[in-house]
Amino acid sequence: MKNTLIVPVMTLSHCVFLPQQLLPLRIFEPRYQRMLKAALATNQMFAVSQLDKSKSSKTKQEQPYPFTCVGRITGHVELDDGTHQIILEGLRRAKVHSISHEGPYPLLEISPVVDEDEADSIAFTREIARTLAFTEHLLSDAEEDVQPLLDRFRGLANKPGALADAVAGHLVAETNIRRELLECLSPIKRIAKVAEVLSALTAQKDLDDEIKPPNLGLN
């Protein structure tokens, strides 16, 4: 018999939420405002799932992809117009079994999943080093202070699966790749995939820097 949990869920068309990610959200739909109120009054947790449009069109109801991420509210501000701004921190991935639309907001039946055990330390060390190096290079021109973010990434260097999630959550934009990472339970495969994506982003950044016209200033 499977051990499952029931959690509130927000379904979004193009958002794949990852563990370790800090996700800013604006809550304005009445159903999600009710969900937020309930979460704030209890454990401050809910899931965010990408909407499977193909499946939803067949059932005529919102249907999520097979994996989701449960997060915890770490910041909350109610605005003058009655909407809410929150920060949701990704906690862990989970397998989706079903969704219910019968209540005031959607509920998921889920079972949390754990990463596979892997022991190839040489492969881990190589991919961790590549990921951190690419990350520092990609953020080197950022206008805002990225040191706290880099420190957070370095603090996960002994947890390759978590490092892959954290870096992807902030630097990998492609929805399909993010969904692939969410569904992957192999830490070495996740960190290798993130390093591969960051390598391509780094090459593109270097190319863009080369062809960028010089800043000659104003006369």
Q: What is the CATH number of the domain that holds 100?
A: 2.30.130.40
Answer whether residue 182 is part of any domain: yes
Q: Which of 112, 145, 163 is the last residue of a domain?
A: 112
21 with 43, same domain? yes
Answer whether residue 219 is part of any domain: no
pLDDT at 219: 40
Q: Which of 107, 108, 124 is nearest to 116 (CA)?
A: 124
100 with 147, same domain? no
pLDDT at 214: 60
67 with 133, same domain? no
Q: Which of 75, 90, 112 is the last residue of a domain?
A: 112
pLDDT at 202: 95
93 with 168, same domain? no
82 with 148, same domain? no
- Classify strands 107-112 and 5-12 as parallel, antiparallel or unpaired: antiparallel
* Block mean pLDDT (10 aa), the chain, length 219: 88 96 96 97 97 82 95 97 97 97 96 88 92 95 87 95 97 97 97 98 89 58
| Structure token digits, residue 200 | 């391509």
Q: Print the domain residue range for 193.
A: 121-211
Q: How far apart are CA 45 and CA 63, in angstroms?
A: 20
Answer whether residue 22 is part of any domain: yes
pLDDT at 218: 46
Q: Do the Cβ atoms of 70 and 92 come closer than 8 Å?
A: yes
78 with 125, same domain? no
Answer whether residue 153 is part of any domain: yes
pLDDT at 123: 85
| pTM score | 0.90
Q: How far apart are CA 45 and CA 68, in angstroms?
A: 13
25 with 104, same domain? yes
